[in-house]
Structure 1
Amino acid sequence: MVLTGALIVILTLFAIAKRYETRMVLCAAGLLMAAIGGNPLGAMTAFEKTMVNSGLVTTICTVMGFSFVMKYTQCDANLVHLLAGGLEKCRIILIPGAILITWILNIALSSTAGTCAAVGAVLIPTMIRSGIHPAMAGACILTACISNPLNPGFPHAIFIANLAQIDTMEVISGYTIPLLIVSTIILITMTIQSILRKEGVNKEHIHQTTHEVNTPVLKINPIKAAIPIIPLIILVLAIPQVAILPKISIPQAMIIGTLLGFIVHRKNPQDITKEFFNGLGNAYGSIIGIIVAAGVFTYGMESIGLTTALIDLMKNSQDLAKYAASIGPAGIAIISGSGDAAALAFNGAVTPHAQVFGMTITDLGSLSTLSGTLGRAMSPVAGGTIICATLAGVNPIDIVKRTAPGLLISLIALLIMFSIH
């Protein structure tokens, strides 16, 4: 049965890479393995239990509801324009500055595709008008979108926290330094590439591209611009290491941010309410749905004996677990354009047994999660890549050629850091 399970898993990953519907593929594979293992009803029970996991559902849904309100009230757009405003005046630091600003905004906006759309629509035209090669401009925005794991509503951090039975902020603080290091590597490598390729600020590019793009104009409201980051500030001030504020949950912080969005917008409260609940529904369908499907897939692997076989194999080599956690999710993310499915499947099946491999649940889960995040930024079929390529007027492959070198170096650095952790 183990060999049959291995074949099903390989076919599952192939189907995900071919961009078949992720939830359908994971559920179908999980049910099939559970049926072969003799307990198809158990897979349905796993589906049911994950659906009502309070730690996952309440946090992820309120974060997405807050995100929808920020978009509707244009608070996120005000924040983007405020931070981007000074860059065009300082062209010498345009590339590292654009990467840094996008990196910061990706924490607040969370969604990679959303960040590429919101930030890219402003910064990519600005960079091109300043003489930066269009493909390099798009690559700078895409490669900076690896910071969303620092958002308290990041689904993988919440998932790992549930596995380890610890606070989500503790998981995030555990991988913050590795993520800062790989982000620094990316910033440096992208800057060096722009110099070696002669794709930085170049007067020859200005005349070729100025007429092709336009930056949207928005009258900046500083108060609105501050709202998207207030929940993040509240959560940081409430962690035990800081303790300036009393302990507050992520859903509570997001609801506070949503209420502030109501106040600063000062109109259409009914529409804002609809947007908040639309965000809740979207989160459940798109994010919780994948987690539920991954739960069914994980149960199927356990039923057919594949999880036990993998653990026994990895017991003999701790390095094998680390390589699987880094190379596997990154590779699937590159092929499929999604860093979620492979990382969630790995974290559900293998990460709970991390101590057997000489690692903690948080370390193994974080390695898998960050690897999937890096892999997605190297994928020519990822939503963020396509958005950046469209805004820059180039082929997605041209974007990936420029993001891949720094991200591959970062992936190696990530593996080294978690190996000596």
Structure 2
Amino acid sequence: MLIVGILICIQVIVIVAYLLYKKYNPQAVLLTSGLLMMILAIVTGMGMPNVKDSTGLVFFDIFLQIKTSLSNKGAGVGLMIMTIGGYVAYMKKIGASEALVYVSMQPLSIFRKHPYFAASLVIPIGQLLFMCIPSATGLGLLLVASIFPVLVSLGVSRTSAVSVITACTIFDMGPASANTARASELIGKSNVQYYLQDQLPLAVPLTLILMVLYYVVNIYFDKKEKNESEKTEMSEFKINVPLIYSILPVLPLIMLIVFSPFFNFFEPAIHLDTTTAMIISLFIAMLFEVFRLRNLKEVFASLKTFWIGMGNVFASVITLIISAEIFSIGLINLGFVDSLVNASQSLGFSATGIGVMMSIMIFLASMLMGSGNASFFSFGPLVPDIAMKMGIEGSRIILPMQLSSSLGRATSPIAGVIIATSEIAGITPYQLAKRNLIPLSSIAIIMLIIHFIF
């Protein structure tokens, strides 16, 4: 019967991937496919809904599972992700995001005689910005408006300039990331702990290698395509707020690190969670606005942006997390995890083999779907069961899976960040995805080698 379950799972996964590629609503696809697998698990006697306070009818318990997921995610990690989304929206509203980008990109001006080196330097600076502005498309558009004209005027081709801009979004990490929040929840760590102990030690060497890869690849292709330097006609990037506003997007990250038990700076210890840090930072930002605008009514009215941002994140990210969880429960009930572990063991695969296989699967899924969240949220919830059965720490598997999801997204011609930035830069999404493919597929392989071998 287990063989029947795994065959059903494989067929469902293929159908889901096809529907997502065809731009069907991901929440609807994942939710209905998850419900279908749960029903099939009941009919075949392979699994039953694992819910508290059963309704008394097993088929009703399936829908009770959705209610349970809504309650758990809405009040826990969901609330945290929503406050992050609201804060990011407020930062954009008051111009703090633009101020941060403007200040961060100023050091590049001293490398005007070395255009490709300057282009490569965008990657680590942009990655720091991405931890504070955790929207791939949002940050990409800000960088296209600010640093893209500079790089092009230095002699870097449009494709090379926008390729390093999108490379800033390939490591979806930091306490403000939705993927980080979900991954840390799945392995039972705090956002800051997961970021400092797991993400950062791997991302630092990978970023340095990535800079070299883009430097070499962009020079090679620009010479091959006989690029000629061109002056951009795009308007100059301007900010309309004091430069001190650049501290506001970074403020939650600073607070989370300073008041983290990981460092233990204070006695007695002060513990600050991500949601609370976002709310404190929000009111500090409002205080900045009071001094700048001298109009209390206008400042109070601007708070609506925060609530709308929270609502938008619930409609997009939280519903996706819940739908993906139902999808993963359906896979588990049909024996997908048990079959995966048994097959891996029979083939001589260790936990490393499973981790590599899952990471490659997510990389390809992100490339196919154009979404890092959809691929990671779909398969991430399987990790706790796999880690428990293999007897290893969850972060050993989930970290490369999480980073592979954002790596694959930047190689997809249908990803939002690729479409948006390439359109403004005057190139096609396929040109940009093709330019990203070599360095990002290479760094994915290097990541797996460093993580699992060293």
Which residue of structure 1 aligns with residue 448 of structure 2?
415
Which residue of structure 2 aligns with residue 146 of structure 1?
170
Q: Which runs of 5+ in 1 are unaligned?
A: none
- CA deviation after TM superposition for structure 1 residue 128, in Å: 1.4
For residues 333 and 156 of structure 2, the distance between their equivalents in structure 1, rounded to whole angstroms, comes to: 54
CA contact (8 A) 1:63 1:251 kept: yes
- CA deviation after TM superposition for structure 1 residue 294, in Å: 0.8
Which residue of structure 2 aligns with residue 45 of structure 1?
64
TM-score normalised by the chain length of structure 1: 0.93
For residues 351 and 15 of structure 1, the distance between their equivalents in structure 2, rounded to whole angstroms, comes to: 27
Which residue of structure 2 aligns with residue 323 of structure 1?
356
The count of residues paired between Structure 1 and Structure 2 equals: 416
The one-letter code matched in structure 1 to 2:66 is F
CA contact (8 A) 1:321 1:357 kept: no
- CA deviation after TM superposition for structure 1 residue 203, in Å: 9.7
Which residue of structure 2 aligns with residue 22 of structure 1?
26
For residues 302 and 210 of structure 1, the distance between their equivalents in structure 2, rounded to whole angstroms, comes to: 53
Matched, 1:222 2:255: no
- CA deviation after TM superposition for structure 1 residue 199, in Å: 6.1
Which residue of structure 2 aligns with residue 163 of structure 1?
186
For residues 293 and 394 of structure 1, the distance between their equivalents in structure 2, rounded to whole angstroms, comes to: 35
The one-letter code matched in structure 1 to 2:64 is T
CA contact (8 A) 2:172 2:179 kept: no
- CA deviation after TM superposition for structure 1 residue 220, in Å: 5.4
CA root-mean-square deviation: 2.1
Equivalent residues in 2 for 1:214-363 (5 A)?
214-219=235-240, 221-244=242-265, 246-266=270-290, 267=295, 268-316=298-346, 317-318=349-350, 319-363=352-396
For residues 111 and 357 of structure 1, the distance between their equivalents in structure 2, rounded to whole angstroms, comes to: 34
Equivalent of 2:205, from 167, 170, 181? 181
Matched, 1:69 2:93: no
For residues 137 and 385 of structure 2, the distance between their equivalents in structure 1, rounded to whole angstroms, comes to: 30
Q: Deviations over 1:181-220 (max 9, x none)?
A: 22222111111123323469x99412xx433x22332255
Which residue of structure 2 aligns with residue 197 of structure 1?
221
Which residue of structure 1 aligns with residue 51 of structure 2?
none
Q: Deviations over 1:110-160 (max 9, x none)?
A: 11111101122111122112221001111010012124312x132222223
TM-score normalised by the chain length of structure 2: 0.86
Q: Deviations over 1:271-321 (max 9, x none)?
A: 321111111111111111111001111121123233322232234422441
For residues 203 and 14 of structure 1, the distance between their equivalents in structure 2, rounded to whole angstroms, comes to: 38
Mean CA deviation greater in 238-247 or 173-182? 238-247
The one-letter code matched in structure 2 to 1:44 is F
Matched, 1:403 2:433: no
Mean CA deviation greater in 359-368 or 159-168? 159-168
Instruction: Return closer, same or farther for 1:41/1:416 CA change in 2, 3 Å cut-off.
Output: farther
Mean CA deviation greater in 86-95 or 112-121? 86-95
Instruction: Return closer, same or farther for 1:182/1:17 CA change in 2, 3 Å cut-off.
Output: farther
For residues 165 and 405 of structure 2, the distance between their equivalents in structure 1, rounded to whole angstroms, comes to: 18
For residues 62 and 159 of structure 2, the distance between their equivalents in structure 1, rounded to whole angstroms, comes to: 46
For residues 11 and 189 of structure 1, the distance between their equivalents in structure 2, rounded to whole angstroms, comes to: 36
- CA deviation after TM superposition for structure 1 residue 258, in Å: 0.8
Matched, 1:110 2:100: no
Please state whether the residue corresponding to 2:280 is helix, strand or coil.
helix
The one-letter code matched in structure 1 to 2:311 is G
Q: Which runs of 5+ in 2 are unaligned?
A: 43-57
Instruction: Return closer, same or farther for 1:106/1:233 CA change in 2, 3 Å cut-off.
Output: same
For residues 219 and 399 of structure 1, the distance between their equivalents in structure 2, rounded to whole angstroms, comes to: 31
Q: Deviations over 1:343-368 (max 9, x none)?
A: 22211124432143353112211121
Q: Deviations over 1:224-280 (max 9, x none)?
A: 111110110111112223222521110111111111211112242233211111111
- CA deviation after TM superposition for structure 1 residue 43, in Å: 3.4
For residues 184 and 123 of structure 2, the distance between their equivalents in structure 1, rounded to whole angstroms, comes to: 29
For residues 111 and 40 of structure 1, the distance between their equivalents in structure 2, rounded to whole angstroms, comes to: 39
For residues 409 and 395 of structure 1, the distance between their equivalents in structure 2, rounded to whole angstroms, comes to: 22
CA contact (8 A) 2:124 2:207 kept: no
CA contact (8 A) 1:124 1:391 kept: no
For residues 347 and 107 of structure 1, the distance between their equivalents in structure 2, rounded to whole angstroms, comes to: 21
For residues 34 and 366 of structure 1, the distance between their equivalents in structure 2, rounded to whole angstroms, comes to: 28
For residues 41 and 303 of structure 1, the distance between their equivalents in structure 2, rounded to whole angstroms, comes to: 16
For residues 148 and 5 of structure 1, the distance between their equivalents in structure 2, rounded to whole angstroms, comes to: 28
CA contact (8 A) 2:141 2:420 kept: yes
For residues 60 and 208 of structure 2, the distance between their equivalents in structure 1, rounded to whole angstroms, comes to: 48
Mean CA deviation greater in 106-115 or 34-43? 34-43
The one-letter code matched in structure 1 to 2:285 is G
CA contact (8 A) 2:37 2:334 kept: yes
Instruction: Return closer, same or farther for 1:144/1:79 CA change in 2, 3 Å cut-off.
Output: same
CA contact (8 A) 1:31 1:297 kept: yes
Please state whether the residue corresponding to 1:242 is helix, strand or coil.
coil
- CA deviation after TM superposition for structure 1 residue 40, in Å: 4.3
The one-letter code matched in structure 2 to 1:367 is P
Equivalent of 1:130, from 146, 154, 157? 154
Matched, 1:389 2:413: no
Q: Determine what percentage of the aligned residue pairs are the same residue.
A: 22
CA contact (8 A) 1:315 1:357 kept: no
